[in-house]
Amino acid sequence: MFTGIIEEIGQVTAIVKEDTNIHFTIASQLSAELKIDQSVAHNGCCLTVVAQNNSDHVVTAIQETLDKTNLGSWQVGTKVNLERCMQLGGRLDGHMVQGHVDGVGICTEVADEEGSWRFTFEHSKEFVTVEKGSITVNGTSLTVVNSQAGHFSVCIIPYTYAHTNFHDLRVGDRVNLEFDIIGKYVARYLGLQAK
């Protein structure tokens, strides 16, 4: 489990394809603290560390992961939001995040609001957002504003803008989305009740 509070921005330094898998090497200051077999959220996608040293670590994405996330579009130089799993007994500063990406959204608008930024994203209508509910965008825990069928907005404060890869996001970019776990369970329950 994660909280959606980004610890570090890493950068892709190498990409190696092996059959249908892709091995990503990520350089970050966090890499030295990681251990092999540790779960780390990369743009909100939970991946296992398979190799590590003081300057970088390696994770592997299988085809299922590549099909449901934006990892397949990563290139050398791509900046990646990183978060280690939460510690039991620690503060939950964001919201409960599984690291299981539901799908990819498309950035449709970036508005500078003179002190903050409003980002709008389109997504599959099979998922629902709730006004003032939680959403995870590229692993970042955020509050939904302007919730509509198939799209929503989030507002970003200067600290989050500077300390995540939001400062690199442009209209047309693909982002990983994880919808609120409680909302997904409620929607599933109501869907089953309607049958």
**In a shared domain, residues 135 and 184:** yes
**In a shared domain, residues 74 and 119:** no
Among candidate residues 84, 112, 131, the one where a domain is terminated: 84
Cα-based distances in Å from 177 to 12, 79, 141, 193: 20, 17, 10, 26
Least confident segment among 84-93, 110-119, 186-195: 186-195
Kindly report the average pLDDT of the chain as a whole number: 91
Q: Is 83 left (phi over 0), alpha (psi -120 to 50) or beta?
A: beta
Query: Closest by alpha carbon to 60, among 78, 39, 76, 77?
Result: 39
CB-based contact 177:103 (threshold 8 Å): yes
Query: Closest by alpha carbon to 69, among 191, 178, 192?
Result: 178
Whole-prediction pTM:
0.88
CB-based contact 42:59 (threshold 8 Å): yes
- Cα(123)–Cα(127) distance, rounded to whole angstroms? 8
**In a shared domain, residues 61 and 110:** no
**In a shared domain, residues 48 and 116:** no
Query: Closest by alpha carbon to 135, among 178, 96, 184?
Result: 178
Q: Say which CATH number the domain at 117 has.
A: 2.40.30.20
The gap from C-alpha 42 to its chain's centroid, in whole angstroms, comes to 7
Confidence at 191, pLDDT banded by 50, 70, 90: low
State the total domains in the chain: 2
**In a shared domain, residues 47 and 16:** yes
Q: Is residue 165 part of a domain?
A: yes
φ, ψ for residue 82, nearest 5 deg: -120, 140
Q: Which domain holds residue 156?
A: 103-194
Given a cut of 90, whether residue 189 has pLDDT beyond it is no
Query: Closest by alpha carbon to 121, among 160, 78, 156, 150?
Result: 150
